[in-house]
A = this chain, B = another copy of it.
Amino acid sequence: MTETSLNIAEDDPVLGTDFAVEMVRQMRALDAYGTLDNHSAAQVLDPFILTKEQKREVPIIGDPDEIVVSRVKSFYNAIAALIESECGLMAVPTINLTHEGFGRALITVGRLVVMDKTLRDVHRFSFPTLSKMKDEADKILSVALEIVGEYPKAAGL
């Protein structure tokens, strides 16, 4: 991965948001072999971004490898961490994947399911831009907080 091929600019302002900071933290947390140690934030998050052209090159059918799965986990772990810091209650992510890349992602707060997503084609998991990725996370976050607000007792408030 050379600098020039990055889909995220090193000075992208989105890299300074809570979401991106948490994403980088989660990616480093799952990076058992330290392969990301010398990577900048833009480099760490770059694999999440595939342009339309790049995505077209990924085969439609494929098994997700460990690296892609850890990306999916980082994404939902980061969202869970943001939910937690917003509402002050523990948010637990659960990712359930078959070998074929289908599955379910759940985030629970207390007795409450605050996110429930069906996962498909996980080997193609990506976003067109960093800002679209943040939008998706923000959407999930705000729905989750709404659900906690609606059922505060079940969430443990």
Contact = CB atoms under 8 A, between A and B. Distances in A.
A9 interface: no
Nearest to A151: B154
Interface string A68-97: 000000000000000000000000001110
Given A94-B94, A96-B94, A106-B94, A111 B147 contact: yes
Interface of A: 94-96, 104, 106, 108, 110-114, 116, 147, 150-151, 153-154
Copies of this chain in its oligomeric complex: 2
Nearest to A104: B94
Determine which residue in A95, A96, A110 has the highest number of CB atoms from chain B within 10 A of its CB, and name it.
A96
A116 B154 CA distance: 14
A96 to B, nearest CB: 5
A112 to B, nearest CB: 6
A30 to B, nearest CB: 13
A52 B112 CA distance: 37
Contacts of A113: 108, 110-113
6 contacts: A95-B96, A106-B108, A111-B147, A112-B113, A151-B153, A154-B154
Nearest to A147: B111
Contact of A112 (B94, B95, B96, B112): B112
